[in-house]
Amino acid sequence: MIDQRGILFVLSGPSGVGKGTVRKELFSRDTNLKYSISMTTRPMRPGEEEGKDYFYKSKDEFEQLIEQNALLEYAQYVDNYYGTPRKYVEQMLANGHDVFLEIEVQGALQVKENFPEGVFIFLFPPSLAALKDRIVNRGTEAEDLVLNRLKEAKKEIDMMDAYDYVVVNDQVDQAATKIQAIIQGEHCRRARIANQYKKILEDDTL
């Protein structure tokens, strides 16, 4: 029998490219995908639940996990840590679920270093002008911050070579369809199942 172990898929790209929107569209279609729940040291907010919104840890607990290499990636924002727990991801994969991680570029590169067997997808804007329009249309940032984000986006686009696939987010539904095709294709990779087929062929009971 072929092992049904899941695959870790990592989606990242510059801020404003629409990662969250594409991820929501994808999850509305595929029930086997499990979203990777992050870990944080920030206090739980009203309405949030442990193990659903985040895994909540103290600063000391989080720093111990860093020392133990128990996180696939982590970062610190406004005096709080955020990260991806390795144990949760590996448990979901072992249970046969594909795990989907939506993350910024720097975090994705950390994951690749710690979990190189993952599949890394770069979500690309149709153009820098379109990316600027998306950031401006948020209406949450001043012009100088928009320009800083665009400069950062150019640097992140230069890191595209570290990824396995590139998907242009021109239309959300089309981008999600392409990612679905990547997921299906990865499960058909010869390298993932060749050794298991060899075991089947070596079975003396056949």
Q: What is the pLDDT of residues 34-72, one digit of tens each?
A: 999 999 999 999 999 999 899 999 999 999 999 999 999
Question: Which pLDDT score is estimated for 91?
Answer: 95
d(CA 179, CA 170): 13
Determine whether 90 is exposed, middle or buried from the number of CB atoms within 10 Å of its CB (0-12, 13-18, 19+). Answer: middle
Q: What CATH number does residue 160 fall under?
A: 3.40.50.300
pLDDT in tens, 69-106: 999 999 998 789 999 999 999 999 999 999 999 999 99
> Does residue 107 sit within a domain?
yes
Residue 57 lies in a domain: no
Q: Is residue 75 included in any domain, yes or no?
A: no
Cross-strand bridge partners of residue 71: 85
Handedness of CA 90, 112, 186, 158 (dihedral sign): positive
Residue 34 phi, psi (nearest 5): -115, 125
Q: In the chain, pLDDT over 70 holds for what percent of residues?
A: 93
Residue 88 inside a domain? The answer is: no
Instruction: Render pLDDT for 112-152 as a digit per residue (tens, 0 to 9).
Output: 999 999 999 999 988 888 887 877 776 555 777 777 878 88
**pLDDT at position 193:** 79
The distance of Cα 152 from the centroid of its chain, to the nearest Å, equals 19
What was the pLDDT predicted at 68?
96
Which phi and psi angles does 193 have, rounded to 5°?
-120, -5
Q: Considering its fold, how many domains does the chain have in total?
A: 1
Burial status of residue 62 (CB atoms within 10 A of its CB: 0-12, 13-18, 19 or more) = buried
Q: Is the pLDDT of residue 154 over 90?
A: no
Largest CA distance in the chain: 70
Mention every residue, 6+ apart, whose C-beta is less than 8 A from residue 160.
122, 124, 166
Share of residues in the chain with pLDDT > 90 (%):
64
Q: Is residue 51 part of a domain?
A: no
What is the token pair recorded at 173?
A: 């539904």
CA distance 96 to 83: 23
User: Cβ of 203: how many Cβ atoms within 10 Å?
Assistant: 7
Residue 191 has pLDDT above 90, yes or no: no
CB burial of 35-46 (b: ≥16 within 10 Å; e: otherwise) equals ebbbbbbeeeee
| Structural domain that includes position 149 | 8-36+97-201
**Within a domain: 175:** yes
pTM: 0.86
